[in-house]
Amino acid sequence: MADARTIPYQCASCNAVLISPVACDACHTLSERAPDLDHFGLLGIERWFQIDERALKQRYLALARSTHPDAFGGASDRLRELSVRLSAQVNEAYRVLRDPVLRAGYLLELAGGPSAAADRTVPPELLGSVMLIREELEEAKSAGDTVTIGRIRDDVRAERAATLDQIASLADAIDTVGPEQQQRIRALINSMKYYDNLLTETAVLSPES
């Protein structure tokens, strides 16, 4: 999984190897992003859930450097305006791809699956278990029982990690599965927000140093 599956781009005018089709450092120029170029393509990596995070960050930083408006201080108005827009797109691509939950959701939408706005369902067993955890948390809170709060936090973390593993195991086959399976992936992704909210609450009640 540490294998960085990258897309080999080349500059049309100088033949230099590029990270992204939108920027060539050798020519010190930028090109408009093609409408069908997704976040993966923009950062020059293949569309895949498993990602080498270090390689992703390196590519992001290199591309951020070649598109940032500060590098075009003396350039034409057109180029400066383009650099602002491209930088924003590069930042957005990195924000989505670096986060496994956002990345999975993005892959799902690319595969034609439901967006979070279109489908808010969660796995049927989740709501019951969240309610139980909440009750337990309330009790521990009024009793000032930080040991229990700490245990609940560990439990939630473990469940979150297990769910993320499930998402990961399904995400790379996202292109080949039917609508039913896509809905299931969406429900799993949606459940992450519930775990995150619970973790925020436990953090407020008993801050870790």
Q: Smaller CB distance to another protein: residue 96 or 111?
A: 96
Angle between helices 179-205 and 124-143 (to 10 degrees): 0
Task: Out of 18, 21, 87, 130, point to the residue binding another protein (CB under 8 A).
Answer: 87
Residues in 111-150 at the binding interface with another protein, rule: CB under 8 A: none
Per-residue CA distances from 3 to 31, 44, 46, 155 (Å): 28, 14, 11, 32
Determine if 73 is a binding residue for another protein (CB under 8 A): yes
CB of 172: closest distance to another protein in angstroms? 26
Which positions from 93 to 112 touch another protein by CB under 8 A, shown as an x/- string? -xx-----------------
Q: Smaller CB distance to another protein: residue 82 or 185?
A: 82
Determine if 77 is a binding residue for another protein (CB under 8 A): yes
Q: Smaller CB distance to another protein: residue 54 or 132?
A: 54
Residues in 170-209 at the binding interface with another protein, rule: CB under 8 A: 208-209
Task: Out of 6, 29, 31, 89, point to the residue binding another protein (CB under 8 A).
Answer: 89
Task: Out of 74, 124, 128, 178, point to the residue binding another protein (CB under 8 A).
Answer: 74
**Strands (DSSP E) along 21-169, which ranges?**
23-24, 29-30
Which positions from 42 to 71 touch another protein by CB under 8 A, shown as an x/- string? -------------------x--xx--xxxx
- Contact (Cβ atoms closer than 8 angstroms) between residue 153 and residue 199: yes
CA 60: distance to chain centroid? 13
- Evaluate the CA torsion angle 134, 139, 143, 145 in order and state its sign: negative
Task: Out of 46, 53, 92, 175, point to the residue binding another protein (CB under 8 A).
Answer: 92
* Assigned token pair, 75: 């350039």
Q: What is the chain's Cα-based Rg?
A: 21
Three-state DSSP at 33 gives coil
CA 194: distance to chain centroid? 17
- Contact (Cβ atoms closer than 8 angstroms) between residue 130 and residue 70: no
CB of 31: closest distance to another protein in angstroms? 17
How far apart CA 31 and CA 172 sit, in angstroms, is: 31
Contact positions toward another protein, by CB under 8 A? 61, 64-65, 68-71, 73-77, 80, 84-85, 87-89, 91-92, 94-95, 208-209
